[in-house]
Amino acid sequence: MPAPLHDPTHHGFASDNISGAHPEVIEAIVAANNGHVVSYGEDPYTARLQQVLRGHFGEQATAYPVFTGTGANIMSLAMLTDRWDAVICAGTAHIHVDECGAPEKLAGIKTLTVDAPDGKLTPALVARRAHGFGVEHHAQPKVVSVAQCTELGTVYTPDELRALADQAHGLGMYLHLDGSRLANAAVSLGCGLGDITTAVGADVISLGGTKNGLIGAEAVVVLNPEAVRGPLYVRKLLTQLPSKMRFVSAQLLALYEGDLWQRSAGRANAMAARLAAGVRDLPGVRITQSVDSDAVFAIVPRAAAERLRERFFFYDWDEATGEVRWMCTFDTTEADVDAFVATLRQALASTSTPA
């Protein structure tokens, strides 16, 4: 076996994408590897995945495995809209900030953003952009898209989501959930996946996998088949049709058939809570968002942040204010968190200005 090109003992806090794959996922890939099966989804793993996800989301649900979260989001929105339509989202939404313009360039969709300080839309915020219906000079609002968890680590309650779905449907619009961290939200709320999707009236979900221990495996889950057009063709058009789909489906099965999604997301959430508790009272550190999931947002003195980054890489969220983001993963340990907190404490002490 080739030697690794990185230090396998090092754990960071930059993203929940930096971890490896969960060992149970690797086992599932190996189990799916031998022999030949039909490609492009005509395989027993993809068929089984449909059954498993219908157990979570209801008998009306249909899943379309894809490679990436960006692909899942753009496929979802493209199926729900025409070229003249628009999507209302928070200003921090991944589809607006971190998709390299893919909604506009690949699907011809305009995003209508709303400032949401905690990352969460409300009916009042949506109402600011949900106008101009039938006016030919305006892009037509067609979808409300929310991330669950949000880009700021906060979580919508079922009642909050239901209010958004009811508003959208009342206006002839649809509700899309960017669920790249849906498992973290469900664990945070102590509910099932269907309780914050199907039960609240969502129409389409981008169901996450990669941020919870998979390797390039996500899915679009259509909950309202009357809301979408051409899912098979849209997936292919957007280059998201896996030829060896059994490997994508096998990973999603490993995550969602049992309780691995809960165990992995639960560990990440618990470690974020431990991290927040450890830094909350440190001098010069201020946690800026509710710690609902696997993310901690905080303002840290710049010099201390740079010293800390020498050992643990993480990203700036807002360079102007000194706000940073720390993410935990399914394999973050208590020892990792405690070492991080101790290193930050030392960095603060060594960079503070004497009175």
Is 251 in a helix, a strand, or coil?
helix
CA distance 36 to 92: 44
Own/partner pairs for 33-36, CB < 8 Å, 24+ apart?
Answer: 33/247
Torsion on CA atoms 225, 56, 190, 151, rounded to nearest 10: -50
**For position 2, what pLDDT does the model report?**
87
Whether residues 121 and 181 share a domain: the answer is: yes
Whether residues 287 and 201 share a domain: the answer is: no
For residue 296, being part of any structural domain is answered with: yes
Neighbours of 119 (CB within 10 A): 22
Whether residues 54 and 194 share a domain: the answer is: yes
Whether residues 86 and 147 share a domain: the answer is: yes
For residue 17, being part of any structural domain is answered with: no
**For position 352, what pLDDT does the model report?**
76
Whether residues 32 and 46 share a domain: the answer is: yes
CA distance 199 to 162: 8
Whether residues 329 and 270 share a domain: the answer is: yes
Tokens linked to 248: 């994508």
The alpha carbon of residue 154 and the mean position of all alpha carbons in its chain are separated, in whole angstroms, by 11
Whether residues 72 and 195 share a domain: the answer is: yes
For residues 353 and 304, the answer to whether their CB atoms sit within 8 Å is no
Q: Note down the domain range covering 74.
A: 23-256
CA distance 240 to 266: 29
Whether residues 47 and 76 share a domain: the answer is: yes
Secondary structure letter of residue 59 according to DSSP: T
**For position 206, what pLDDT does the model report?**
98
For residue 185, being part of any structural domain is answered with: yes
Total domains in the chain come to 2
In the block, which residue shows the tokens 């059994």?
Answer: 246
Among the three residues 256, 282, 304, which one is the final residue of a domain in this structure?
Answer: 256
**For position 1, what pLDDT does the model report?**
78
What CATH number should be reported for the domain holding residue 330?
A: 3.90.1150.10
**For position 325, what pLDDT does the model report?**
97
Give this prediction's pTM: 0.95
pLDDT in tens, 139-184: 999 999 999 999 999 999 999 999 999 999 999 999 999 999 999 9
For residue 158, being part of any structural domain is answered with: yes
Whether residues 249 and 314 share a domain: the answer is: no
Residues of the chain falling short of pLDDT 70:
353-355
pLDDT in tens, 25-45: 999 999 999 999 999 999 999
What CATH number should be reported for the domain holding residue 204?
A: 3.40.640.10
